[in-house]
Structure 1
Amino acid sequence: MLLWSLLLLLLLPPLLLLLLLLLPSQAARLSWLASLQHRVAWGALGWAAAWQQRRLEQSTRHVGQSQQRALSRCLQGAQRSGCPPRGSADVSTFQKRFPLIRASRIQEENGGQLRAPTSNQGQGEAFLQATLLGLTVLKKAHPEVLAPGSIARVTPTSPWPSPLPWPLRALDQAALPGVKGPGALLLEALRRPGLRVLEAGTAVELLDVFLGLEADGEEWAKAVAAGTPGAPLPSRAAELQQALEGGPRGLALRLWPKLQVVVTLDSGGQAEAVAALGALWCQGLTFFSPGYAASGGVVGLNLWPEQPHGLYLLPPGIPFTELLPVQEGVRGETDSTVLLAEAQRGSEYELVLTDPTSLTRCCLGDVIQVVGAHNQCPIVRFVYRLGQALSVRGENMAEDVFSEALRRAVGQWPGAKLLDHVCVESSILDSSQGSAPHYEVFVELRGLRNLSEEHRDKLDHCLQSASPSYKSLRFRGSVGLARVHLVGRGTFRALREALTAAPSSPFPPEMPRVLRHRDLAQVLQRRVVS
């Protein structure tokens, strides 16, 4: 048997070369070779993903042992980096010796560093696992979407946490070699009407792409017609022009009639962009994220593309993960955490990750709700970030509570569609002089050009309905009426450019819903139109 295997390995390359030479034309040879590379890559990916799936199943069935091993690896990593661990690798001993640290404190200690520390050890493996399993489950749910030439990425950043290693790179056809700029990527995608998958780094980046496409659609169509770059495609340019004339609703499917799936990487503050895209430009399409990224690392895996967007498995590997109970939008009075196997369905917890370099147990501020279990590991949805709560008089208006109230209010504004929003406490802009402290709310809308007092009153009513503490403070006059400002098109794109320009900006960039810095708030204030 071994002899036959060796003989096959020796004969296979010359046989393939002979078949390639027998093909009638160079185009046919290239097409056949690309198809062969694609098949070989999928075979390799299937094997690698099956191995990762077996490891994941094993670790989630014995989650206590898996977390103990993850902690041991963290301690070994700290020892190698010159930070010798104190005590044993026992979880309870580790928790007693290393107190919890808030992400805000780390930010202060690092001179305003936006990113909380995460583990580099093991993150490469976690990134690759999310990518391999994500591609596999996406292919299983939509078998035809990952065929050769069916994928295009329209942003320089990729939604897949890890680049594919050789020989899997034949599958990475989302961005052509040498094509890196966002304009060139979008132009290449527009030239290909048969796309089935559209990729972008994050949903907010994709929202910016569609807003720019809608604003400058005529120039894009002319570029396709002129063949800049590539061969001129006048018929395709005419198709693009006709699609753009139909308006934003369903634009993606008019541009690419075979399109089925939009792939972006989920992280904090992306839900609003996903909702706006799904209601307008990407109406009728499935959204998929291979994982959830927080503080620069992948902390959740998406194994269920057929389920509603936003369900993730918390794996038991590195980074070592703990869960801190949260009650009614605030942290508990104690710092007593639970491990993954102890998470209770329906309960909310703040994520706590341990950095193996410095053994920092960091409370990220990301709050998850447990909705189920896979073996012994929790299946969760990310609901809000503690650092994005509003509190001008101690009312502690949580991120998800405010966002839901705003969505209900906009739903009562005839013709309006919410694209993006940000809040600022009045003290940041010094706008409370002569009045009670209040919220300054900046919104970008589609379908409404001016805000009336009636529109603004409806938001305040929705906020009072959503938060009893806010309602009580409003009744007593301790908190003033929320002031709503409509900003012009492109305002939030300018804000995101200002955010990503910061040297410490993480990827994916978490979209803030509450601004704490006056200079960023003034970016919005200067663009108010109503």
Structure 2
Amino acid sequence: MSIFRNLLPLTKASRAQEEQNGEQEQLPTPSQYPQEAALQATVLGLAALSEAHPAAVLAPGAVGRVTPTSPWPCSLPWLGPILGQEGPPGAEDPRALLLAALRSPGLRALEAGTATELLDVFSRLEAAGEELVEAIAAGDSGAPLPGRAAEVRTALEQGPRGLAPRLWPQLQVVVTLDAGGQAEAVAALGALWCHGLAFFSPAYSTSGGLLALHPWSDQPQGVYLLPPGTPFVELLPTRDGAQEDDTRTLLLAEAQRGKEYELVLTDHASLTRCCLGDIVQVVGTHNQCPVVRFVDRLGQALSVRGEVTSERLFSEALGRAVAQWPGAKLLDHCCVDSGVLDSSEGSALHYEVFLELRGLRNLSEENRYKLDLCLQDASPHYKSLRFRGSVGPAQVHLVAHGAFRALRAALATGLSSSAPTAMPRVLKHRRLAQLLQRKLLS
């Protein structure tokens, strides 16, 4: 290991292409996942899911996928026909997938690439519900089903809370691939459309394409196993969300329970040791492998005056602020340094915060300011800068439904694959920030 570290010094994830193209950093395509790791994650995930929900996985025709992307890292062509999952005609068309699922009242498992994609599916369903109901009744993509069309219309008329169990009374579990920035979507789905359903993720896909596994049926979601093998993973100790001065990495078996580490990945093709920016907390062990929870992403920190407001700190402060807004449910959010938008207009630099909420279409200035107060409570450094006037109060903007769906579509433009992507919480390029600006409600 000493020779390995000396020959391959640590590097940061390259931002050269991001800066050149004006794009946010993206997850790799599935072809970049090591095949062995992808197959392992898929088979172990299927085994765990079938143990927890055997009727939802093993019964033919019980699974409905509603997004072009799949939550399973590895495609298993032999599995679809066995389980009656050949797919509807036009299976890469989101509308065709959703329509096929709506025509099948006996679904027991719902699959989507990521939780944010599933959130988009339910938003689309509410917006185009009547058109889809008419298509079911008229026999679009199959025989006319007027009775089923009436059931779908009735379910939609009762509102978003518990919509999925009403549409599919036998539904047990929602399966999505976990990635960065998905926690808010999972919380929103669990509180509204998928209320009362179990969630399952077979793996965690990081910014470097690493697959951490979830091979258990009895462990809580959000807990993953870091396995040995390809790709080669090391752990870099961190303190208070930042790297320690000592850059000596640890092997998986050397991880200590309760400690936090940044993942370091060695690309076997280019032999580059890269710090991914993904922070994990060790919560246990499985044999000699660490069991971890992904807690932060260093690349998603805000800083306008040298302060570092991490993704974790900001999300916690935002959650406390939203809890003080009566009736509000947070669906999604993004932040922008005011310098990116040139919105300071001679005043102090500040955070621009874009929110998509359910149950609230306007906020008083007093309620908007509660986010800034929560940030000050969470970060003494931020509070000091606010007291001195070096940083202005965070500006909160509400965007229309569908704004973040449009943002994700813009982020996916130019990708060679429709692979599930991490959701950015800090936008670094004006073009993307202006897309949300054009969708403002207030």
Distance 1:440 1:185, change over 3 A: same
Residue in 1 that maps onto 2:396: 484
1:192-243 CA distances to partner (integer Å, 9 max, x unpaired)? 1111000001111100000010111111111111110111111111110110
Give how far 1:105 is off.
4.7
User: Matches of 1:466 and 1:492 in 2, distance apart?
Assistant: 26
Contact 1:291 1:298 in 2 (8 A): no
Any residues of structure 2 matched to 1:365-376 within 5 Å, and which?
Answer: 365-376=277-288
Any residues of structure 2 matched to 1:112-191 within 5 Å, and which?
Answer: 114-115=25-26, 123-146=34-57, 147-166=59-78, 169-171=81-83, 173=85, 175-176=87-88, 178-191=90-103
Q: Which of 142, 162, 165 in structure 2 is aligned with 1:250?
A: 162
Report whether the alignment pairs 1:524 with 2:409. no
Give how far 1:180 is off.
2.2
User: Matches of 2:259 and 2:79 in 1, distance apart?
Assistant: 43
Give how far 1:434 is off.
2.0
Any residues of structure 2 matched to 1:10-409 within 5 Å, and which?
Answer: 91-105=1-15, 107=17, 114-115=25-26, 123-146=34-57, 147-166=59-78, 169-171=81-83, 173=85, 175-176=87-88, 178-295=90-207, 297-409=209-321
Contact 2:199 2:221 in 1 (8 A): yes
- Percent identical across equivalent pairs? 68
Distance 1:156 1:499, change over 3 A: same
1:347-400 CA distances to partner (integer Å, 9 max, x unpaired)? 111111101111000111111111110011100011111000001111100001
User: Matches of 2:332 and 2:68 in 1, distance apart?
Assistant: 22
User: Matches of 1:519 and 1:102 in 2, distance apart?
Assistant: 25
Give how far 1:507 is off.
2.8
SS of residue in 1 equivalent to 2:431: helix
Give how far 1:298 is off.
3.8
Any residues of structure 2 matched to 1:460-471 within 5 Å, and which?
Answer: 460-471=372-383
Give how far 1:414 is off.
0.5
User: Matches of 2:152 and 2:273 in 1, distance apart?
Assistant: 52
Residue in 2 that maps onto 1:62: none
Contact 1:322 1:337 in 2 (8 A): yes
Q: Larger radius of gyration, structure 1 or 2?
A: 1
1:431-473 CA distances to partner (integer Å, 9 max, x unpaired)? 1222111100000011111111111111111111111111111
Q: Which of 510, 513, 516 in structure 1 is aligned with 2:425?
A: 513
User: Matches of 2:30 and 2:436 in 1, distance apart?
Assistant: 35
Give how far 1:481 is off.
0.5
Contact 2:22 2:429 in 1 (8 A): no
User: Matches of 1:403 and 1:96 in 2, distance apart?
Assistant: 38
User: Matches of 1:121 and 1:214 in 2, distance apart?
Assistant: 35
Contact 1:116 1:364 in 2 (8 A): no
Contact 2:38 2:211 in 1 (8 A): no
Contact 1:341 1:377 in 2 (8 A): yes
Alignment-mate amino acid for residue 7 of structure 2: R
Answer with 121-130 or 218-227: which moved more.
121-130
Contact 2:26 2:422 in 1 (8 A): no
SS of residue in 1 equivalent to 2:178: coil
Give how far 1:177 is off.
5.7
User: Matches of 2:268 and 2:248 in 1, distance apart?
Assistant: 20
Answer with 464-473 or 161-170: which moved more.
161-170
Answer with 174-183 or 205-214: which moved more.
174-183
Q: Which segments of structure 1 move beyond 4 Å, counting only runs of 4 or more?
A: 105-113, 115-122
SS of residue in 2 equivalent to 1:475: helix
Contact 1:138 1:305 in 2 (8 A): yes
Report whether the alignment pairs 1:446 with 2:349. no
SS of residue in 1 equivalent to 2:357: strand
Q: Which of 496, 513, 516 in structure 1 is aligned with 2:408?
A: 496
Distance 1:119 1:348, change over 3 A: farther
Answer with 156-165 or 294-303: which moved more.
294-303
Contact 1:127 1:298 in 2 (8 A): no
Distance 1:185 1:108, change over 3 A: closer
Distance 1:388 1:493, change over 3 A: same
Distance 1:505 1:177, change over 3 A: closer
Give how far 1:497 is off.
0.6
Give how far 1:168 is off.
6.9
Distance 1:509 1:478, change over 3 A: same
User: Matches of 1:349 and 1:506 in 2, distance apart?
Assistant: 30
SS of residue in 2 equivalent to 1:443: strand
Alignment-mate amino acid for residue 52 of structure 2: A
Give how far 1:109 is off.
9.3
Answer with 517-526 or 450-459: which moved more.
450-459
SS of residue in 2 equivalent to 1:104: coil
**TM-score normalised per structure 1:** 0.80
- Structure 1's unaligned 5+ residue stretches are 1-90
SS of residue in 1 equivalent to 2:405: helix
SS of residue in 2 equivalent to 1:297: coil
Contact 1:119 1:318 in 2 (8 A): no
Contact 1:100 1:361 in 2 (8 A): yes
Contact 1:107 1:116 in 2 (8 A): no
Alignment-mate amino acid for residue 412 of structure 1: Q
Answer with 144-153 or 178-187: which moved more.
178-187
Give how far 1:288 is off.
0.6
Give how far 1:504 is off.
6.7
Contact 2:88 2:96 in 1 (8 A): no
Q: CA RMSD in A?
A: 2.0
Distance 1:241 1:296, change over 3 A: farther
Contact 2:352 2:395 in 1 (8 A): yes
1:283-306 CA distances to partner (integer Å, 9 max, x unpaired)? 111111100011363420002243
Alignment-mate amino acid for residue 485 of structure 1: H
Choose between structure 1 and 2: higher helix proportion.
1
Contact 1:324 1:351 in 2 (8 A): yes
Distance 1:483 1:505, change over 3 A: farther
**TM-score normalised per structure 2:** 0.95
